[in-house]
Structure 1
Amino acid sequence: MNERLTITALGHEGDGIAETATGRIFVPFTLPGETIEADIGGERGQLIEVIEPSPDRIAAACRHFGVCGGCAVQHMAPAAYREWKRGLVTDAFAQRGIEVGVEPLVPLAPHTRRRAVFTVLKDHDGIALGFNRRDSHDVLKIEECPLLVPAIEKRLPELTLLAGAITERGKRARMTATSTDTGLDVSIDGGRKLGRRDFESLGQSAEGGPVARLTVGGNEVFASRVPELRTGTLVMYPAAGGFLQAAAPSEASLGDLVEASIGKVGPVVDLFSGIGTFTLRLARRFPVLAVEGDGELLKALDRSMRYSTGIRQVTTRKRDLFLNPMSPPELKPYKAVVFDPPRAGAKAQCEMLAKSTVPTIVAVSCNPATLARDARILIDGGYRLTRVTPVDQFLWSSHVEVVAAFEKG
Structure 2
Amino acid sequence: MIKPLHACAPLILSGAFVFSASALAQTPDFRADAEHLLELIDEKYAYFARFDGRNPARGAQGVDPDAVTDASSLLRFAECAINALQDHHAILGISSRSSYGLTPSYNDLWVEHRDGAYVITDVRDGSPAQAAGVEPGWRLSSVAGQSMDEAVAGLCGGSYEADAAKGYAARVLAAGPRDQTREFVFTDASGQEQALSLPNLYQVETPERPLISVSDHDGIRVLRFNNSLGEQGLIAAIDEALSGARPDGLVIDLRDTPSGGDTLYARALMGRLIDETQPYQRHAFPQIERDTGVARQWMEEVLPRGESLAGVPVVVISGRWTGSMGEGLTIGLDAVADAVTLGAPMAGLLGAIYDYDLPETGWTVKLPTEALYHVNGTPREAYESDIVLESADLRGPNGEDLALERALSLLR
TM-score, shorter chain, exceeding 0.5: no
Normalization by structure 2: what TM-score? Answer: 0.28
More relative contact order in 1 or in 2 (CA 8 Å, sep 6+)? 2
Bigger Cα Rg: 1
The structure carrying a bigger strand percent of its residues is 1
What is the TM-score normalised by the length of structure 1?
Answer: 0.28
